[in-house]
Structure 1
Amino acid sequence: MKKENIRIVFMGTPEFAVESLKSLVENGYNVVAVVTQPDKPVGRHQDKLQPSAVKQYALEHDLPVLQPEKMKDANFIEELRAYHADLQVVVAFRMLPEVVWAMPRLGTFNVHAALLPQYRGAAPINWAVINGETETGVTTFFLDKDIDTGRIIMQKPFAIPDTADVEYVYDGLMHLGAEIARETIDLIASKLPEGDLTGVDFTYILEEISVPQGHEDKVLYAAPKIFKETCVINWNQSAKTVYDFVRGLSPYPGTWSELYSESSNIKPIVIKIFKTAKTEQPAVDAIGTLVVRKNQLYVNTADYLLELLELQVSGKKRMDARAFLNGFKEIDTYRFKAVDVK
């Protein structure tokens, strides 16, 4: 079957998903409708509605948009069914009920930003960098009843340089995800005969192009959702661990730590840390204490000094370490709270 004859419903919300939708539209795939999250209230008084990045792109290209509050809503199910989709493509969207993912005759596949079965969950890109991985990738798999466990169709690896932050990996996987989405549809189309497909056993065809997620001999790493409390730095770890943690959450949402003075009762200051550098200089003092050498700022970790390069004081703009030091007197009396994260 030609790819143009496969009716596709695309589901996604953020910028990451736009690249895949754009790729399908610009390469002649038959996207008949788009499903995305409802518009979000924004502004100081929450009195304005902000459409998702996917909705904005869809409207610019005259694609019908569905925005259900609840995925099991009867009216939404009826409206979705009316598009007679052969296939649904999901990129960075919410969990789907079976009544939705099982609707198309060719099933529903998801583009996941990791090499499954590793990093199942909501934040696979962040956790791969946080854990110091040197490689991640993208996976397409058919949805089933459990989250991120369906049969794998295709995978593409992506190298993570030691200096890369999550923004770099996000951008790389966003484009790689668009590529694998097209190739997955092409693979499905290549297995389908031309002409009337009434009575064709699609289950057999789809199983032929996919494999179960084997992981019996692997230690699996999860990718749970990131919250504010997730981002607090635990200085009681090695410099390499803290270094990876910072770049795995930079630039957004950003790691943070409380800085306080040992010589005063000043309220602790929340500092966001966006960029650090490893050193070969052994720690010289208590964990969390600061060291200034030639206008360079370091923190004592469990083993080595970690250099702080880019920071942000609460309520101020992001700055380099030199500008940060210019704003502090008696910096040697300050230290970061050595939080021991459980």
Structure 2
Amino acid sequence: MEKLRIVFMGTPDFAVGILDTIYKNNYDIVGVITAPDKPAGRGQKVSMSAVKEYALEKNLRILQPTNLKSEAFLADLKSLDANLQVVVAFRMLPEVVWKMPKLGTFNLHASLLPEYRGAAPINWAVINGETKTGVTTFFIDDKIDTGAMILSKETAIGANETAGELHDRLMHLGSETVLETLQLIESEKATTTLQENQPEPKTAYKLNKENCKIDWSQSGKTIFNLIRGLSPYPAAWTFIKDGENEWNVKVYSASFEEKAHTDTIGKITTTKKELFVAVHGGVLKIESLQFPGKKRMGTHELLNGVKLSENAIAL
């Protein structure tokens, strides 16, 4: 049985949970590859990735290449003498990188492959109203999320669960799955299954301003799923227009009630503490949101300072 020497590659919080599990189970982590530091926020203060913060805390060797094909990076990577690479929420690797270790390079993806290949699998599973999802480990090949699968574990998605809540549960499930995958590889018992070529597997497209905007012509249930699928980040958004005023508003949480009504779609109705939007098939109650220049707040708190007329509408 060959002792594993692991290089870990990842960037966001989701990857930290997996790295922490590998570390706490006393595997030999010979290096951590993560994104370069970059300016962030209004002050453009240089910030480091969540994975780098963790690696610094644990005194792990860190590499932050801007070019994964550069001779300097490849030489540094080779010098680590890893026999296995583990990738979680990183970027597409060139063949020269994923083929380098003797035992290969495997990735943890937060979906039941081949469904939801791509950048945002957790968000899209919720947005599309799925009732189940999971995680998959697979050996990387030359395409995105298409390699031979090692392990797959499934979990239900709650009817009101947000992407943020699901993210945290999948991080734990992913940690267990990566640990089990490492044990199989270490004991030379890992077997793989090729991904089935389904005609049209659902895709986890990269999130952008356009696909995060609420389309009020859709059903209330569809809009509700979009809001929870983008909460807490990057958040669904809409324009709210009231007379001469128009605001770009982020919507973080809502609930949907099916009911018949004759209101114009998008019409906003408020009480002292509540805000409702008329949608196809019912009413959407907005529970927390963020107006420009303000912090995220509950609707009751916002309505203390923002007064909307009976002509207000969501666009």
Quickly name the TM-score band, shorter chain normalised. Answer: over 0.9
Deviation string, structure 1 residues 182-226 (Cα, Å, up to 9, x no partner) = 11010111227xxxxxxxxxxxxx6xx00110143x641100111
Counterpart check, 1:332 vs 2:314? no
Where does residue 161 of structure 1 map in the other structure? 158
Deviation at 1:329, TM superposition (A): 3.7
Counterpart check, 1:211 vs 2:193? yes
Deviation string, structure 1 residues 13-37 (Cα, Å, up to 9, x no partner) = 1111111111111111111111111
CA contact (8 A) 2:273 2:301 kept: no
Alpha-carbon separation, structure 2, partners of 1:92 and 1:63: 19
Question: What letter corresponds to residue 148 of structure 1 in structure 2?
Answer: D
Counterpart check, 1:315 vs 2:293? yes
Deviation at 1:45, TM superposition (A): 4.9
Deviation at 1:142, TM superposition (A): 0.5
Alpha-carbon separation, structure 2, partners of 1:170 and 1:283: 36
Alpha-carbon separation, structure 1, partners of 2:290 and 2:245: 17
TM-score normalized by structure 1? 0.88
Alpha-carbon separation, structure 2, partners of 1:94 and 1:26: 25
In structure 1, runs of 5+ residues without a counterpart are 193-205, 338-342
Alpha-carbon separation, structure 2, partners of 1:328 and 1:18: 39
1:79 to 76, 81, 84: 76
1:136 to 133, 138, 141: 133
Alpha-carbon separation, structure 2, partners of 1:165 and 1:45: 30
Deviation string, structure 1 residues 265-294 (Cα, Å, up to 9, x no partner) = x14111111111111222321111113468
Alpha-carbon separation, structure 2, partners of 1:224 and 1:188: 31
Where does residue 172 of structure 2 map in the other structure? 175
CA contact (8 A) 1:10 1:88 kept: yes
Deviation string, structure 1 residues 66-86 (Cα, Å, up to 9, x no partner) = 111110011100110111211
SS of residue in 2 equivalent to 1:229: coil
CA contact (8 A) 1:138 1:176 kept: yes
Alpha-carbon separation, structure 2, partners of 1:162 and 1:42: 34
Question: What letter corresponds to residue 64 of structure 1 in structure 2?
Answer: R
SS of residue in 1 equivalent to 2:123: helix
TM-score normalized by structure 2? 0.95
Question: What letter corresponds to residue 227 of structure 2 in structure 1?
Answer: V
Deviation at 1:122, TM superposition (A): 0.5
Alpha-carbon separation, structure 2, partners of 1:92 and 1:227: 18
Counterpart check, 1:257 vs 2:238? yes
Counterpart check, 1:271 vs 2:271? no
Q: RMSD of the TM alignment (CA)?
A: 1.7
**Which protein has the larger Cα radius of gyration, Structure 1 or Structure 2?**
1
Where does residue 224 of structure 1 map in the other structure? 205
1:59 to 32, 56, 61: 56
Question: What letter corresponds to residue 33 of structure 2 in structure 1?
Answer: V
CA contact (8 A) 2:134 2:153 kept: yes
Deviation at 1:330, TM superposition (A): 4.9
Where does residue 124 of structure 1 map in the other structure? 121
Alpha-carbon separation, structure 1, partners of 2:6 and 2:301: 52
Tell me the number of residue pairs that the alignment of Structure 1 and Structure 2 aligns: 315
Deviation at 1:44, TM superposition (A): 4.4
In structure 2, runs of 5+ residues without a counterpart are none
Alpha-carbon separation, structure 2, partners of 1:55 and 1:319: 31
Deviation at 1:258, TM superposition (A): 0.5
1:22 to 20, 37, 43: 20
Alpha-carbon separation, structure 2, partners of 1:61 and 1:225: 31
Deviation at 1:63, TM superposition (A): 1.2
Deviation at 1:321, TM superposition (A): 2.4
